[in-house]
Amino acid sequence: MITLPTLLLVLAADSGLAVIPRPAHLTPRPGSFTLTGSTIITTDARSRALGGMLADYLFPATGFRLAVRPSAPSGARVVAIRLDATLTALGAEGYRLDVTPGRVTIRAPQPAGAFYAIQTLRQLFPPAIFRAARVPAAVWTIPAVSIEDSPRFRWRGVHLDVARHFMPKEFVKKLVDLAALHKLNRLHLHLTDDQGWRIEIRQYPRLTAVGAWRRQTIIGRPDPDSTKWRFDGQPHGGFYTQDDITELVAYAQVRFVTIVPEIEMPGHSQAAIASYPELGNKPDTLPVWTAWGVDENIVNPGDATIRFEQNVLTEVMALFPGRWIHVGGDEAPKTQWKASPLAQARIRELGLKDEDELQSHFTRRMDEFLTAHGRSLVGWDEILEGGLAPNAVVMSWRGIDGGIAAARAGHDVVMAPGSHTYFDHYQSADTTAEPLAIGGFLPLDTVYAYEPVPAALTPDEARHVLGAQGQLWTEYIPDPKRAEYMAFPRACALAEVLWTPQEEKSYPDFLARLATHLVRLGVLDVNYRPL
C-alpha cells in the first residue's frame, strides 16, 4: 500500500515541483500557468536587467522572444518582477514567487532575491526548458504555487583548483552558471600552487611565462619511493590574462556569484619560486613541480618576498572587487625555514618563538595590507597556528576544530571539512568502477547529512559560521568533464544543506526531486555521476 506522505511526495516530484535546493516555504495552488509567445515580462527600473536575463534564459528552448516592458495591457499573460522594500524581512537574497493561472509574480527586497526567484521559476518548467535549441511542439506549463524563500547561510560556495590542472575560461563560466542554478553565491578559485601559476600579474611576467607551464605530470598517485615515479611526458599549462579575469568576474557578478581568488603563500609556491628563484630559501633554480603532494619549497619570509606578495595582491585586488582575498596558508613545511639563516634571523629580530609564529607574522602582514585596502583575508585553518591574524576569515578544512576555535575567537568561518565537502574524494565505496581519485569516500548521502554549524558552538559563536563550500582539488581531475563528474550531484546536495532550513531537509524527498534535476543536468550537458 502506498502511504499518503509517499503519494504526496511522488505527486510533488511528478507535478514539476522538483526544485533544488528545496525552498523554505512552498504551497501548491490549484491550476497552472502556461507560457506563450505573447507573455510579457514586466519589470521596474531596478529589475529591468533581470527581466532581460529571464527572457534570455527562456528563449533558446521556447523560441519565444518575450517582451520586457514597464507594464502590460490588462488581460495580458504576465511574468511580473518587482523589487519591494516591504519584504526586507526576507533578507538580501530572499524572494516571493507566486504562480497563478493568469500571472507569475516575483517580488524581492533586493536584486539577488529576484535572481533566485528566476532560478526557481526555471526549475518549475519541464527540464527541456534548459535546452539550447527550440523544442518542437512543447507546451510550457508550470504548476500554480506560492513560494516564500530565503537562504539559511550567507556563504554558499564551490571551490575550483585551476593550478593542478588548468581549466578553460569557458568551463569556469559553466561552473558559475551551475552554481547560480543551485543558488550558490561564491566561487573560490585556487589560482596558484606548486604545479602552476594561473593569473597574469603584469609586474611579474615570469609568473606566467615560466610558472604557468610544467614540463610533464606524474602518472597516478606518487609512490613514497620517488624513484618509482612515472611521468606522462606531456607539457601542461595555461593561465588567465587580466582581461580573462575581468570577463569572469563580470560574468559571475551578474549571476550573483562572488569570485574569491586564492594566491597561496608561503607554501604551495614552487611555481612562483620557479619563476623568481629569489623568492625561495635556497639558491637553486627549481622547475614548476610535476608531482603531487606537500612540497618543502616554500617562499622565504624576507621583506622583499612580503613586498612581492603584496604587489601581487595589489593587482589581484584591482581585478576582484569582492571583499574576500584568500592567501592560502595551508601545508607549509618549516624544514627550509629551520635551516635558513634569513628565517632564523627574522625569528630573533621579531622576538618570535618559532617558525609557526613566523608564518603567523607573515600572514599578519598580508592581513594588515588587505585590511588597509578594505578587504578581508581568508586562509586555511593553519593560519590559526602561532596566533590568528586579527581580521582573518578561517576556512576549516582539517575537520571542524579550526572552525570551532576561530568562531570562539570571534572570527568568521567557512566550513570546508574534508569529511563532508571534499568533492575530489571517491563517491562510491567500490572504487573499481570509478576514475582514479585522491582517495577518501564521500557519498551523496553524507554530503546531504552535513550540518555546517558545529554542535560545540553556542548560538552567539555559531553566528560566525558564514556557511560552507565544496572543494574540487584537481590533481586527479584532468579536465572539465571529470570536474563535473566529481562535483555533481554532490554540489546539489550541498546547495540544499546551505540554503534550505534544517527542518525542511529530507533525504528521500531530495532524491525524488533529484531524479528530475538530473534530467536537467543532462540537458545542460553536465557529466554528472549517475546514482
| Contact by Cβ (8 Å): 393, 324 | yes
177, 330, 331, 434: the active-site residue: 331
Q: How far is CA 88 from CA 42, 109, 117, in A?
A: 21, 5, 15
Asked if 423 touches ligand ACM (CB under 6 A), the answer is no
Q: Quote the CA–CA distance of 69 and 439 in Å, as a whole number.
A: 53
Q: Quote the CA–CA distance of 33 and 41 in Å, as a whole number.
A: 14
The closest of 440, 328, 429 to 377, measured between CA atoms, is 328
Q: How far is CA 427 from CA 32, 224, 275, 303, 419, in A?
A: 38, 25, 37, 45, 12
With CB under 6 A as the contact rule, the residue among 380, 448, 450, 510 that binds ligand ACM is 380
Burial class from Cβ neighbours inside 10 Å (0-12, 13-18, 19+) for residue 104 reads buried
Q: How far is the CB of 453 from ligand ACM (least distance, A)?
A: 21
98, 193, 309, 496: the active-site residue: 193
| Contact by Cβ (8 Å): 145, 218 | no
Q: How far is the CB of 301 from ligand ACM (least distance, A)?
A: 20
Asked if 330 touches ligand ACM (CB under 6 A), the answer is yes
Q: What is the DSSP string of 10-48?
A: HHHHHTT---SSPPSEEEEEEEEEEE-TT-EEEE-GGGH
Q: Quote the CA–CA distance of 9 and 516 in Å, as a whole number.
A: 13
Active site residue 200: no
Q: How far is the CB of 178 from ligand ACM (least distance, A)?
A: 22
Q: Which residue's CB is nearer to ligand ACM, number 193 or number 200? A: 193
Asked if 385 touches ligand ACM (CB under 6 A), the answer is no
Q: Which residue's CB is nearer to ligand ACM, number 126 or number 267? A: 267
- What dihedral angle (degrees, nearest 10) is formed by the CA atoms of 510, 514, 520, 521? 110
182, 268, 361, 425: the active-site residue: 268
Active site residue 44: no
Bond prior to 109 in cis (omega within 30° of 0) = no
Q: How far is the CB of 328 from ligand ACM (least distance, A)?
A: 8
Q: Which residue's CB is nearer to ligand ACM, number 189 or number 347? A: 189
Q: In which residue are the cell numbers 520586457 written? A: 68
Q: How far is the CB of 330 from ligand ACM (least distance, A)?
A: 4
Q: How far is CA 122 from CA 11, 24, 48, 181, 486, in A?
A: 19, 17, 18, 9, 24
Q: Which residue's CB is nearer to ligand ACM, number 161 or number 496? A: 161
* SS3 of residue 338 by DSSP: helix
Q: How far is the CB of 345 from ligand ACM (least distance, A)?
A: 29
Number of residues that bind ligand ACM (CB under 6 A): 4
Q: Which residue's CB is nearer to ligand ACM, number 380 or number 488? A: 380
Q: How far is the CB of 162 from ligand ACM (least distance, A)?
A: 15
User: For the CA atoms of the chain, what is the radius of gyration?
Assistant: 24
Active site residue 331: yes
The closest of 81, 59, 86 to 70, measured between CA atoms, is 81
Residue type, 11: L
Asked if 397 touches ligand ACM (CB under 6 A), the answer is yes
C-alpha grid cell for residue 240?
588567465
Q: How many CB atoms lie within 10 A of CB 14?
A: 12
Q: Which residue's CB is nearer to ligand ACM, number 280 or number 328? A: 328
Q: Which residue's CB is nearer to ligand ACM, number 256 or number 380? A: 380
Q: How many CB atoms lie within 10 A of CB 285?
A: 9
Bond prior to 266 in cis (omega within 30° of 0) = yes
Q: How far is the CB of 166 from ligand ACM (least distance, A)?
A: 19
Q: Which residue's CB is nearer to ligand ACM, number 346 or number 420? A: 420
Q: Which residue's CB is nearer to ligand ACM, number 159 or number 255? A: 159
The closest of 453, 477, 485, 487 to 184, measured between CA atoms, is 487
Asked if 331 touches ligand ACM (CB under 6 A), the answer is yes
Residue nearest ligand ACM by beta-carbon distance: 330
C-alpha grid cell for residue 78?
504576465
Alpha carbon distance, N-terminus to C-terminus of the chain:
26
Q: Which residue's CB is nearer to ligand ACM, number 330 or number 356? A: 330
Asked if 357 touches ligand ACM (CB under 6 A), the answer is no
Q: Quote the CA–CA distance of 119 and 200 in Å, as a whole number.
A: 33
- Residues at the site binding ligand ACM, with contacts judged by CB under 6 A: 330-331, 380, 397
Query: Which amino acids are annotated catalytic?
Result: 193, 268, 331
